[in-house]
Amino acid sequence: MSSPSKPRILLLGEIEHEPAREEWQALSSFAELVTPKATNRAEFLKECKSGAFDGVVAVYRTFGSASITGRVDEEMVKALPKGLKYIAHNGAGYDQIDVDVCTDHGIHISNVPTAVDDATADTGVFLTIGALRGFNLPLINLRKKEFRGTTAPSLGHDPEGKVLGILGMGGIGRNMARKLRAVGMSVQYYNRKQLSEDLADGAKYVQFEELLKTSDVISLNLPLNAHTRHIISSPQFRLMKRGVVIVNTARGAVMDEAALVAALDDGTVASVGLDVYENEPEIHPGLVSNDKVLLLPHMGTYTVETQTAMEKWNISNVRMALQEGKLRSPVPEQKDMAS
């Protein structure tokens, strides 16, 4: 009598760090590890429909894999193997996946939450201080061998005594709050739900409009979904203090970039620190050309330590799914979904 075949795991994207690669290869002791041959979405859908991935129970996917597969939407889910039960996404944000569609098809989704907190918060701190101090233009001038420039740059502002308004007080927001309190900022936040006193750690809970009206710096730390897309646009900019500083390390599309450019042009927004963009890798030309905008190319988790930890966390989701029938870190929308 032949032994039952191993369950299969599909890898979408790359596992780049050796400690994580070793853990990935260790999964082969109880599962068959599979990779696609496709180089674009059309080829990938065709490969799915050919039966090449039959028997795949779990998928490990990266943010970059969307360049091959596209978004995990209704069309994609229908093409994937019928026995697929789990998709483990290597990232905190998972807007590339239509969770509702996956739920309807009985597919469980996980993400990588806390492993990204420190590095992303550090990026937010850098952008906050850099935008407040107006460091972008002097950096540009220095590389042009003009030192401070042909005319002196405008004076910046100290973080001490400023009010930091955090929109989305999850792990990254709380981490950023703790670090910016150390340089003298007071913290207020708006969240879907008010945090416990322990989690808030002294931060003041306010309503959305009050946060917009009273914050000196507004940091966007919320996930992108149908409810948060363009949560900051022209009406919201009109409520803000004149001279407000905006920082975004979440997802570009939570803010209307065209409205941000207009708010910079009319002086409502004094300066900006951005790590994410509405149509990455494209950036609105009005942001690129503005000396008051400090730009990073989505570097939030771009460290050896954090990306290794993320890969290992995501592998643990896959391992737990196959060995225990559940995910280590299911996405919040599926917290009550039956196994």
Closest among 73, 96, 68, 66 to 223, alpha carbons compared? 96
Q: How many other β-carbons are positioned within 10 Å of the β-carbon of residue 66?
A: 16
Closest among 111, 110, 27, 36 to 76, alpha carbons compared? 36
φ/ψ of residue 58, rounded to 5: -135, 150
Closest among 97, 87, 92 to 115, alpha carbons compared? 92
Closest among 308, 317, 324 to 87, alpha carbons compared? 317
d(CA 32, CA 34): 6
Report which residue type is found at 159. P
Q: How many other β-carbons are positioned within 10 Å of the β-carbon of residue 185?
A: 22
Active site residues: 251, 280, 298
Q: Could you tell me the two tokens for 225?
A: 């979904």
d(CA 316, CA 291): 43
Query: Residue 106: is it exposed, middle or buried by C-beta count within 10 angstroms (0-12/13-18/19+)?
Result: exposed
Neighbouring residues of 84: CB distance < 8 A, sequence distance ≥ 6: 56, 57, 58, 59, 107
